[in-house]
Amino acid sequence: MSAAPVSSPPTSEVVAALAAGLPANVLVTDPARMESYRHDRAMFCPAGVPAAVVLARETAHVQHALRTATRFGVPVVPQGALSGLSGAANAIEGCIVVSTAPMTQILEIDTANRLVVTQPGIFNADLSRAVEAQGLYYPPDPSSWEFCSIGGNLSTNSGGLCCVKYGVTTDYVMGLEVVLASGEVLRTGRRTVKGVAGYDLTKLFVGSEGTLGVITEATLMLRPAAQRPRTAAALFASMRAATDTVAAVVAEGHVPSLLELMDAVSIRAANEYLRSDLPEDCAAMLIWQSDSGGEVAAREVAAIGEVATRCGATDVVEADDPAEGEVLLAARRAVLTALEAWGTTLVDDVCVPRTRLGEFIDGITAIGERRGVVIGTVAHAGDGNTHPNVVFDAADADQAERARLAFGEIMDLGLELGGTITGEHGVGVLKREWLEREVGPVGLSVHRAVKAALDPAGILNPGKVFSL
């Protein structure tokens, strides 16, 4: 199977065919406007110039774009909010970009069945607030929830701060509407809580990063509204004491609704960016919450505090009120943006077994020292999912190369410790060379077989996730 035809059709023919079936305000061909649709937030990932951008407002627009692409053998790059960190949404030279960002409608909130039907362009935070107003809760909450779309979350199977208790995006997807490469519409899943008829095609598309189809609608499971959370934090003189706490919390059976870790670099960056006053005289800070409500939450928060003290915390403090707790979470969510103020960032997304977390973070520190680059690490610690942020000056070729090497060595270390190269950001282009090391040659051949079955011409996001 090839990713593209031997000879490409003239761009004018492709654009004319697109224009014949789309409203004028849906098709973008102006080079200046198309510039903003070339790439996501990832570094070191190539980005081409699209032949056209389709700002889809309904499923029919996506269908027409894919039929046109299939007719001419032109690659299609699906895009959402462009908040991704792996290059999966980067344009390919001469491609058709299909953006679902304008598809922002919530089509239905069914309170009795606890589900929501939504288009993919809506931001995670907007969906979460809409269902909260109906007494319901959508748990997946990436740190970028204010500016990442549900479609992008589905594409990479995003996680977030609350995954330690509630799981990741795929755990809440009941069904999808997907436009296939042929332009046909496939509906997967169902609205029932249980259902095992046929292959689980829904989970196949979640996390496929636009290589198998374009998601145009999702039916998502909701939970009853969470109780008002209680929040606490602990400071540590060493990172190992903090990671020992994480391992002990899990081993003792505590299930907080959030368990997040920040190192000293991340704390300092967040303070500068937010002009906050988090303590900086520590090596690490652990933040946790319980949303179980009332005395149960009080006991859960206190129990984890006791574990932290036993593992060597220098200070354990519970937030006085929800607003104070939100200050802590705002700092944690802001770390990536805060570190971008220091320079260019390469964001790793390695997840390791929670018992290897301390060993992994010690290794990250050693890599940063050996390569002479700044690395600020935060983690969804309860999952073992780390985000080491390599900070460097992109104008300095030597420093950029050292940053790239450090990034790769971090992924190598994660695999050596039994981990995965991506816990929630996806493979995209950035991590493609490491995928085969993780899944093996047989696993990669199965990936290619699935791709060939659904996208025989190889037009959907070719070159992303793995080479064809």
Is residue 384 situated within a structural domain? Answer: yes
Is residue 130 situated within a structural domain? Answer: yes
Q: Are residues 192 and 311 in the same domain?
A: no
Q: Are residues 151 and 218 in the same domain?
A: yes
- With H, G, I as helix, E, B as strand and everything else as coil, classify residue 69: helix
Phi, psi of 56, rounded to the nearest 5 degrees: -65, 135
- Which ranges of the chain have pLDDT less than 50? 1-6
Q: Are residues 112 and 212 in the same domain?
A: yes
Q: Are residues 285 and 396 in the same domain?
A: yes
pLDDT at 320: 87
Q: What is the pTM of this model?
A: 0.94
Q: Hey, what amino acid is at 386?
A: T
pLDDT at 29: 97
Q: Are residues 210 and 302 in the same domain?
A: no
pLDDT at 176: 98
Is residue 462 situated within a structural domain? Answer: no
Total length of the chain: 468
State pLDDT tens for residues 176-222: 999 999 999 999 999 999 999 999 999 999 999 999 999 999 999 99
| Token pair belonging to 459 | 């037009």
Which residue among 394, 416, 438 closes a domain?
416
pLDDT at 322: 87
pLDDT at 1: 37
Contacts of residue 329, Cβ cutoff 8 Å, sequence gap at least 6: 161, 231, 258, 260, 287
Q: Is 34 exposed, middle or buried (0-12, 13-18, 19+ CB in 10 A)?
A: middle
Q: Which domain holds residue 287?
A: 230-416
Q: Are residues 234 and 335 in the same domain?
A: yes
pLDDT at 7: 53
pLDDT at 219: 98
